[in-house]
């Protein structure tokens, strides 16, 4: 399947309500009452988004690929023993894709550096694992998706504390956390740390408010996955 803008919008609404994707679509179409819960909350808010992204690999699944999502999908690391990923696709011994789906709600200032370090470290570790021959012979495709709550705090200029020993990158001057996430994701893809990244901003309880940068949008993610699927289908068996 190819996910549409409406599909992603429904998945983000499901993120806020804790519903699954099918339930959210039925609510949007008026087929069932909004009070119906499609899935319980508590750690499963991103299930609908994971379901949608995993569905993009359906052409490979039809050929026998294993498309796993949710739970503990563990891949070997290099600088550590292993790491759990949210979506993992394997086919004929190939690690087709590994994708992380995360959210940032509330105290963005306390968590930005943690999210950045996590995103960078996870990818570097898995890529080094590939170089060490631990995850197959074809370079894995890596993706990172973040749902970011749009608030006054996420849009306000960051009041940076302290003065570094050297001049920081001017791109970070007079910037909000939203802008900094855009810069982070853009550079992660540009520098081939990730093959695709996606930044979605959303007001609490609503669908997609904005995708601030086209290079790290849901449409670009969909295109990148389709290209990966086509590449794997054309690879020698």
pLDDT digits 0-9 by tens, 105-122: 887 777 899 999 999 999
Q: Is residue 69 in a domain? A: yes
Q: Is residue 46 in a domain? A: no
Q: Is residue 110 in a domain? A: yes
Q: Is-contact 91 63, C-beta < 8 A?
A: yes
Q: Is residue 17 in a domain? A: no
pTM over 0.85: yes
Closest CA to 12 of 57, 55, 51: 51
Query: CA-CA distance, 185 to 193, in Å (whole number)?
Result: 10
Indicate the Cα dihedral angle 181, 184, 185, 190, nearest 10°.
Answer: 160
Q: What is the pLDDT of residues 118-174, one digit of tens each?
A: 999 999 999 999 999 999 999 999 999 999 999 988 989 998 888 899 999 999 999
Q: Report the SS3 class of residue 97.
A: strand
Q: What is the pLDDT of residues 46-94, one digit of tens each?
A: 999 999 999 999 999 999 999 999 878 999 999 999 999 999 999 999 9
Q: Is residue 115 in a domain? A: yes
Q: Is residue 170 in a domain? A: yes
Q: Are strands 141-149 and 94-104 parallel, antiparallel or unpaired?
A: parallel
Q: Is residue 41 in a domain? A: no
What is the domain range of residue 92? 52-233
Q: For all residues of the chain together, what is the average pLDDT?
A: 89
Closest CA to 127 of 79, 55, 63, 159: 79
Q: Report the domain count for the chain.
A: 1
Q: Is residue 86 in a domain? A: yes
């Amino acid at each position: 399947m190819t996910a549409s803008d409406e599909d992603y919008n429904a998945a983000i609404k499901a993120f806020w309500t804790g519903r699954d994707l099918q339930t959210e679509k039925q609510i949007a179409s008026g087929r069932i009452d909004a009070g119906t819960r499609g899935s319980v909350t508590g750690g499963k808010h991103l299930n609908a988004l994971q379901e949608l992204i995993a569905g993009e690999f359906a052409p490979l699944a039809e050929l026998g690929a294993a498309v796993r999502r949710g739970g503990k999908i563990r891949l070997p690391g290099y600088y550590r023993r292993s790491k759990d990923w949210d979506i993992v696709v394997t086919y004929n011994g190939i690690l087709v894709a590994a994708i992380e789906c995360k959210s940032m709600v509330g105290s963005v200032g306390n968590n930005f550096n943690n999210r950045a370090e996590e995103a960078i470290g996870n990818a570097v570790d898995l890529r080094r694992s590939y170089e060490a021959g631990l995850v197959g012979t074809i370079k894995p495709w890596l993706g990172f998706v973040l749902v970011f709550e749009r608030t006054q705090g996420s849009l306000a200029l960051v009041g940076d504390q302290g003065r570094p020993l050297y001049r920081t990158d001017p791109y970070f001057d007079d910037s909000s956390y939203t802008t900094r996430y855009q810069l982070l994701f853009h550079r992660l893809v540009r520098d081939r740390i990730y093959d695709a990244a996606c930044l979605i901003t959303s007001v609490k309880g609503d669908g997609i408010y904005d995708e601030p940068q086209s290079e790290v949008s849901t449409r670009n993610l969909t295109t990148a996955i389709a290209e990966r699927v086509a590449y794997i289908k054309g690879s020698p068996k």
